[in-house]
Amino acid sequence: MNKIIRMEERNHKHPHTEVQETSIEELELQSWRKKLIGAWIFGIPVMLLMLIARIFGIEIISEQITVLIFLILGFPVVFVFGWETIKGGLKGFYTFYFNMDSLIALGTIIAYLTGIFSYFNFVADYSGVASAIMAIFITGKFIETKAKGKATQEIRKLLELGAKKATILRGKREMIVEISELKLEDIMIIKPGEKIPTDGFVVKGESSVDESMITGESLPVDKTKGKNVIGATINQDGILYVKTTKIGKDTFLAHIIKLVEDAQGTKVPIQKLADKLTNIFVPVILILSLLSFFGWWIFSGVLSKALGVAISVLVIACPCSLGLAVPIALMVGSGIGAKNGILIRKGEAIQTMKEVKIIVFDKTGTITKGKPEVSDIYSSVKKNYLLEIAGSLEKLSEHPIAKAIVEKAGLKKYNQVKSFKILRGRGVEGVIGNKKILIGNRVLMNERKINFSSFERVIDEFESGGKTTMIISENKEVLGVIAVADAIKDDSSYAIGLLNNAGYRTIMITGDNERTAKSIASQVGIKEVIANVLPEDKARKVAELQNELKLVNNRFVAFVGDGINDAPALKQANIGIAMGTGTDIAIESGDLVLAKSSLIGVVQSIRLSKATFRKIKQNLFWAFAYNVIAIPLAVLGLLHPVIAEIAMALSSITVITNANLLRGIRI
């Protein structure tokens, strides 16, 4: 969607959070609507009079007065309501860069001038045709603009998601302010059921937050002190105190909107080809129209007939449908993508994605959740007791593995821990009651001469599966083992299975050791693994895969990642697919962004690319087919200029309608 304008002026305002009154699309639609109404108010009397006098041959008033009426009523239609078209069309004749307006401008001006020349008996009058041509052309532009507006409707809805006001804490005083008045590091108070006004992190309170508009996940996400929250998501059951970290154009929501705005303004390679063809096509038609004029004039000797044929050729050949074929389909496709959480940053991705052969996946945060979770527990005592002492001790540690254990324990009340100590690289120790608790790896246990041989087989099994194991001992007696792993996303194996079945070559690339990498890969169905890769080498590995495909035309490599270290690889790949929950630099480096951070989005992107490009090819076929059939008819003098204009308008409507049929697909 284009940028929003006509917003209330305020200091420190932030565009996406304001009440957007009028978008550029809406203003453009309003403009064309006014032109449409004005053109038909003056155009209908002209067309009725032309129908009576020219078609049915009924003379109500004299020919001279009829022509005068055509000229008077036609002037505002052609030179007022159609002025932008005339101006844009004539510009091509001195820049030598022609577009669809060039033919319309020349056709209407020549037709209008015949009315003046008819007073001197030089030619027959076609001035009424000029009004009809321009009125129908304006109607087509209005339909086109309306179609574009519909295509961005889903994106515009994103703007409406944001909160309008925020409750903040200034000193010890609560106050309600407009979103535009929020400042960085303001403390926001979000009560149950309220939208979170902008991005920030929790400084106090606990609650669950509905993030379905961002992630697509129906289950709410628990938020405690230190956790990040996203603007426009909904607080559920507790009060949260949130410090603002991003406002205005820097927020996640504004970022999403900007990505789609940028995508809709870009041109795919086939669009550039269509533009080049249009620039060649128009001068060819001008020459053909000129040849038709002289041919008919020489062989028929009737100047008015020759002019009528020339005007018909100009009008019928107007490449409106050719010019609409690609952008309309692209805009509808990007709108569907946004609706499904696929944000197209670069328009060419629509064309390139369908040619992908190899898909390379980062592991952490892409295939996996990027967050350690307790995967297995093996205990010689009651599991609840093991989790109770482990959770109480690890509660005092900030290590990600400790947090995973605490989360798994889910204790409402923690045991008092004395003499707590972090043993860096090995584990933690402390005293609960009169019992000395030790939690750590093999190194720590060997260091303290604690025998864990009875658990050796289980530990080996866990570690061979790529899991990190923590051994828990009480007074030098091992009670059990807790395994922690970066859990695989729920739908990763399903998505990769779909890609494998469709014939795509899937590869996982990671800095992890080969054993861990292969374990994760086998769980999701990836057969090729590139392990022990340094962050700076990921792009090089992608380049090597690209070189493998050089012998195969139009076959590309896609890279899917989320971290800062993935940015070079995202840029290197033919298609970079960034996870929406990833880092800013990764998102900026991607051609596509998966807002839901689900690998199903990769499958959907390919389907969307194929469906959109199929519509583009269909549109181009119909645009060219129309001209192949219609132009010869015009040259042969079988199409009246008005009929030619109606046919031209119908071809544009056909292309627009065909593109909008894309909305019915399921990706």
Residue-wise pLDDT for 196-240, tens only, equals 888 899 998 888 787 755 543 444 677 888 888 888 888 877 789
* 30 three-state secondary structure: helix
Successive 10-residue mean pLDDT values, the chain, 667 residues? 35 39 66 89 85 70 84 91 85 72 77 79 71 77 63 53 78 84 88 87 85 54 84 82 86 65 50 64 81 87 79 68 69 80 76 86 82 86 91 82 86 87 80 90 88 89 81 91 85 92 90 77 89 76 82 75 74 83 63 83 89 84 78 79 65 78 77
Please say whether the beta carbons of 611 and 285 come within 8 A: no
pLDDT of 499 reads 93
* b/e per residue 417-437 (b: at least 16 CB within 10 A): beebeebeebbbbbebeeebb
CA angle 607, 609, 612 (to 5 degrees): 105
- Cα 271 to chain centroid, rounded: 18
Please say whether the beta carbons of 409 and 420 come within 8 A: no
pLDDT of 506 reads 93
Run of H or E including 479 = strand 477-488
Which residue intervals of 77-152 are DSSP H helices? 83-95, 100-118, 127-151
- Cα 176 to chain centroid, rounded: 34
pLDDT of 242 reads 92
**Alpha carbon distance 46, 61 (integer Å):** 13
pLDDT of 422 reads 79
| CA proximity to 608, closest of 419, 343, 389 | 343
What residues are labeled active site? 362
Number of Cα atoms under 13 Å in the Cβ half of residue 442: 10
Task: Estimate the crossing angle of helix 641-660 against helix 600-635, to 10 degrees.
Answer: 170
100-104: list long-range contacts, CB under 8 Å, 24+ apart: 100/278, 100/282, 100/318, 100/319, 100/320, 100/322, 100/323, 102/282, 102/286, 103/282, 103/285, 103/286, 103/314, 103/315, 103/317, 103/318, 103/319, 104/133, 104/134, 104/137, 104/314, 104/315, 104/318
Order of strands, sheet of 221-223, starting from the edge strand that comes earlier in the sequence: 221-223, 207-210, 234-235
**Alpha carbon distance 197, 182 (integer Å):** 9
**Alpha carbon distance 509, 188 (integer Å):** 41
* 482 three-state secondary structure: strand
85: amino acid identity, one letter: T
Query: What's the count of helices (H) and strands (E) in the chain, helices before strands?
Result: 23, 24
